[in-house]
A and B are shown apart, each in its own frame.
Chain A
Amino acid sequence: MRFDSALGLESRKGPLAIAGKTLIYGLMVVVFTGPLVALLMSSFSKTLDPTSFSLWPDEFTLENFVQAGEKNVYLYLFNSFVVVGFGLLLQMLVSVFAAYALARKKFRGMTFVMLLMLATMMLPEEIIAIPLSLVLADMPLLNLNLIGTYAGMILPVGAWGFSILVMTEFMKEVPVELEEAARIDGAGELRIFATIIVPLCRPALGVIGVFGFTMIWDQYLLPLIVAPASDMWTLPIALRSLRSDEEVGIGVLLAASLLALLPSIIAFLAFQRQFMRGLTSGAVKG
C-alpha cells in the first residue's frame, strides 16, 4: 500500500468516494471564493441593492467603473502600484540580507536582534501613527522631510519582521557544505550570498513576495499620514473615503473594492508556483 497523504483519500476510487470528494472540494471552492465572485458580479451590475448580492449582474454595465474614474480611483490605483512596486522590491532585498546574517552567521547579540524583530511585529500601528508622522516630517540626524513623498510611504514598509523571520528559516536549510565548498574555491562573502544562498531560496522569495505584496497593498495609516492631500492617496484610503461620501452609491464602492482586490490576487496567481513550492519545501520544520 502506498501513501501520498495522511488520509490516503487518493486511493479511494469508488463512485461514492468520488461523489463525496467532488462535494467536499466543490463546497470548499464555493465557500472561499463565493464572496469574491459575488463582488465581481455586483460591481458590474446596474441596479444595486445595498443589502444583497446577485450572482449574475442584472443589466451588465461598466457605469460603476466610469464613475470610479470620476472619483479619481485610477490615480489611487497608480499610487498603490508605485508604493507596492518599490516597497516590495526594497522589502525583499532587506529581508534577504537580514536573513542571511541571522541564518548563516553566528555573532553576539543575535538572540537580541531576533527579539527586536518579533517586537516590531507586535506593535499596534495605530498607536505609533502620530509619533511616526513626526519622525517622517523631520528624520532625526538626516534632517529630511519625507511627508509628501513616495519615499515616506515606501521606506517604512522596507523592513518587515515577518518576512525576515520566514526567510531566515529557509536559509537555515541550505546545507553548509555548499557554502564551504565555495569558500574553498575563494568566493567572497557577497558572491556566496548572491550565487549560492539566494538562488537556493527562490521558493521562499515567492512566499515573502506574496505576503509582502498583501501587507504593503493593505497599508492604510502610513499613506494617510504621508499624503498631504488626496492626490497621493492609495486605494485603501480611497475605499474608506468612498464609503463615507454621501453623494455616491454603493456601486462605485464595490467597483473600487474589486480594483483593490484584483492586484493582490493576480500577484498571488503569478507567484503561486513558487509560493506553493516555498511553503512545501520544508520551511516549517520548527
Chain B
Amino acid sequence: MTSTLTPARSSAAPPHRRTRSVRWRGPVIAWLFLAPALVLFLYFKFIPMFVGLWKSLFKVQTFLGDEWVGLQNYQTIISDDEFASAIWHSIVLALGTTVGSIVLGLGLALLIEGPARYLWFVRTAAFLPVVTTMAAVAEVWRIMFHPADSGMLNIIIGWAGIDPQPWLASEDSSLWSIMIMSIWRGTPYDMMIFLAGLVGVDRTLYEAAAVDGASTWRRLRHITLPALRPVFWILFTLAAIRGLRVFVEVYVLTNGGPNGSSEVLMTLIYKLGFQKNELGVASAGGIVLFAATLALTVVVQMLRRRQTT
C-alpha cells in the first residue's frame, strides 16, 4: 500500500518553508485526505439522496413527466394502515433482534473469553455467520423452517419434546421466526465486540475482588459490566442505524406474509416502489424511514452523553 504514495513524496515541501505555512496547511491536508471519500459520497450517496427527496414531492411518471403533488405522498404513506403495522413490526423485529443478540452475545463472550487455543477455534467458528451472504443464508434457513414434522427445526425441537411449530407459515410466529435467524446472525457479531471490550478490563481489579472474597456474580456486576459500558453504546448505536432497515431477511423468507404479519418498512416500501409503480410514495416512505433512523440515532447518542457525564 505504501508504494502508491511514493511519487508524491518528492513533491513534499522542504522543511524550512513548512513552519511559515503550517497554520493553513493543517486543514488543507486534512481536506485533501478526506477528498476521495467526500467525492465518492457526494456522487453516490448525497446527490441520489437529494434527487430522492425531490422526487418524493412528485407523482413520478418516468416517461410522461413528473407531476408536482407537494406533500401528498407523505400523507398517503403515513395514513396507510399497512404503514403503521409495518412500523410496529420493524420496531418489534429490531428490538427483539438487538436485545437477543446483545444478551446472548454477552453471555457467549464471557464463556469463551481467554487465551486458550481451542477457544480461539470456537471463536472463529462461531463468527462465520457474520461474514456469510444474507441471501444464501436466508435460503438455508427457509428450508430449515419447513413447517411439517419433517422440517429440520421441528425435528430438533422434537427432541426436547416440543410440538412441531408452523414457523414462517403462521401469522403468529412468522416475525419471531425471522427474529431467530437474525439473532443467529447478530449474536456472533456482538460477541466479538464484547470480547474486544473484555480485553480492556483491568485484570488487577478481578484479583483485588477475589482477594476481598467477592462472588463471580458480584465481580461481573461491579467490575465487568461497568467496564463494558462503551461496548453497549456502540452496539446500541449500530442497532439504531441498522434496525429499522431490515430487508433481505424478510424479503427472502416471507416477503411480509402471511397476512402481512411480517411486513416491515423496507418490504412495504419496496412493494410500493417497484411492484406498484408508486415511486413517489416509495421515496416519501424512504425519507420517513431515514428521518426515523436519524432521530433514533440522535436519541441513543443523547442518552449516551447523559450516561457518561
A: residues with CB less than 8 A from B are: 1-10, 24-25, 28-29, 31-33, 35-36, 38-39, 50-53, 92-98, 100-102, 105-108, 110, 113, 116-124, 126-128, 130-132, 134-135, 139-140, 155-156, 158-159, 164, 186, 188-191, 193-195, 198, 210, 213-214, 217-218, 220, 235-236, 239-240, 243, 253-254, 257-258, 260-261, 264-265, 267-269, 272, 276, 279-286
Contact = CB atoms under 8 A, between A and B. Distances in A.
A92 to B, nearest CB: 8
A257 B108 CA distance: 28
A112 B22 CA distance: 23
Interface stretch (B65-73, B170-178, B285-293): B285-293
B8 A190 contact: yes
B2 A39 contact: no
Given A124-B266, A131-B49, A156-B44, A285 B230 contact: yes
B37 interface: yes
Given A51-B150, A135-B44, A260-B136, A164 B197 contact: no
A127 B286 contact: yes
Q: B interface, by DSSP: helix, strand, loop or mixed?
A: helix
Contact of A284 (B137, B193, B289): B193
Contacts of A32: 125-129, 184, 188
A282 B37 contact: no
B33 A116 contact: no
Contact of B224 (A4, A6, A124): A6
B48 A131 contact: yes
Given A4-B115, A97-B34, A198-B1, A116 B139 contact: no
A29 B110 contact: no
B273 to A, nearest CB: 7
A282 B200 contact: yes
Given A28-B126, A220-B135, A257 B140 contact: yes
Contacts of A243: 139
B45 to A, nearest CB: 5
B146 A51 contact: yes
A276 to B, nearest CB: 7
B207 interface: yes
B145 to A, nearest CB: 10
A16 B51 CA distance: 64
A5 B207 CA distance: 11
9 contacts: A1-B207, A5-B110, A6-B206, A35-B184, A113-B34, A122-B294, A132-B44, A190-B8, A194-B5
